[in-house]
Amino acid sequence: MAFTTTVMPTSFKVEILKGVHNFSASSGQTFKLALYNNSASFTAATTAYTTTNEVAASGSYAVGGGALTKVTPTSSGTTALTDFSDLSFTTATITAFGALIYNDTATGNPAVAVLNFGGAKTSTAGTFTIVFPAATATGAIIRIV
Amino acid sequence: MFELSFGKMDNPVVKTSDFGGLSCEDLSELCVNKIIEVADGAPSVVREQAKFFQKQVQKTIFEYLKQAKESERATCIQICVQGGEQDAANLLRKV
C-alpha cells in the first residue's frame, strides 16, 4: 500500500468523452487537490475522491484539500492542454506522499489525476507547495496530443 | 480510426518549508521555471545559453522578492505602530 505512480485514471478518460469535466477558468467546474499518506494506494483504476488515508487538516489545509486555479484549455501546435496554478498550504504541519486531483463539482467527485511525490514530503508549521509544470505543449499537467 | 493520447505525466515538484513560508530562493526558482523552460532535447549551446539567461532572470526576481518582503514587513510594522501594538511591531522588526 503506497503511492507507486503518477497516472491519469481510466475513468477520467471515459468522462472526458462524456463531457463530465469543464476546465474553463471562468465558467468551469471546481477542481481540488487532496493530500494523502503512504497508506493510500491509488492507481489508474481509481475513480473518485476519498477521505480514506487523506492527511489531517492543518494550517490552511482542510479535509477535501485545496481548490485549484485553472488555466483555460488551449492549444499549442496540435496539442490541447490545460493546467493549474501552483497550490500552497500555509502554516501547515503535513507529511504527504502523493495527491489526488478531483472534480469537486461533478457528482461523485470523480478523479482527474493521481500524483506521486516520489517519497515523503514534509512541512512543519510551514508552507507546503505543489508545483505544477508550465502550461506548454510538452509540460502541462493534462495534454491531449 | 483516430487515436487520441494523453501526454506523459511527470511526478510533480513539491516545495516545503518549516516554521515559516518559502524562502526568496525557493520562490524565485519556482517563478523562473514557469517563465523559461529549457528543453532537454535542445542543442547544448542553446541549452547553456538558456540556462545562463535563466540564472540572470532568477537573480533579478530574487532581488525584487526580497524588496517586496521588506516592503510588506515595513507596512505591517506601521499598521502595528498605528494600532498601538508596539510589541508586535518590535517582533516584526526582528524578522
Q: State whether residue A133 sits within 8 Å of chain B by CB.
A: yes
Q: Decide if A5 is inside a domain.
A: no
Secondary element (H or E) of residue A14: helix A10-18
Q: What is the pLDDT of residue A1?
A: 63
Number of A:B CB contacts under 8 A? 91
- Report the distance separating Cα B21 and Cα B40, nearest Å: 31
Q: Which of B10, B21, B39 sits opposite A6 (nearest CB)?
A: B10
ipTM of the complex: 0.87
Q: Is residue A2 part of a domain?
A: no
How many domains would you assign to chain A? 1
Q: For residue range A120-130, list pLDDT tens digits in order.
A: 999 999 999 99
Each residue's pLDDT expressed in tens, for chain B with a length of 95 residues: 777 788 777 778 999 999 999 999 999 999 999 899 888 788 999 999 999 999 999 999 999 999 999 999 999 999 999 999 999 999 999 88
**Chain B contact for A134, CB < 8 A?**
yes
Q: Please check whether residue A81 is in contact with residue A142, taking contact to mean a CB–CB distance below 8 angstroms.
A: yes
For chain B, domain boundaries: 24-35+43-94
Q: Is A27 exposed, middle or buried (0-12, 13-18, 19+ CB in 10 A)?
A: exposed
From chain B, pick out residues whose CB is under 8 angstroms from the CB of A145: 4-7
Q: Scan for cell 510533480, then name that residue.
A: B12
Rounded distance, CA A82 to CA A86, Å?
Answer: 13
Question: Which residue of chain A is at minimal alpha-carbon distance from B7?
Answer: A143
In a domain, A3, yes or no: no
Spell out the alpha helix ranges (H) of chain B.
24-35, 44-82, 86-94
Domain with A72 in it: 10-144
- Predicted TM-score (pTM) of the model is 0.88
Interchain proximity A128–B16, CB inside 8 Å: yes
Put simply, the answer to whether A118 touches B16 (Cβ < 8 Å) is no
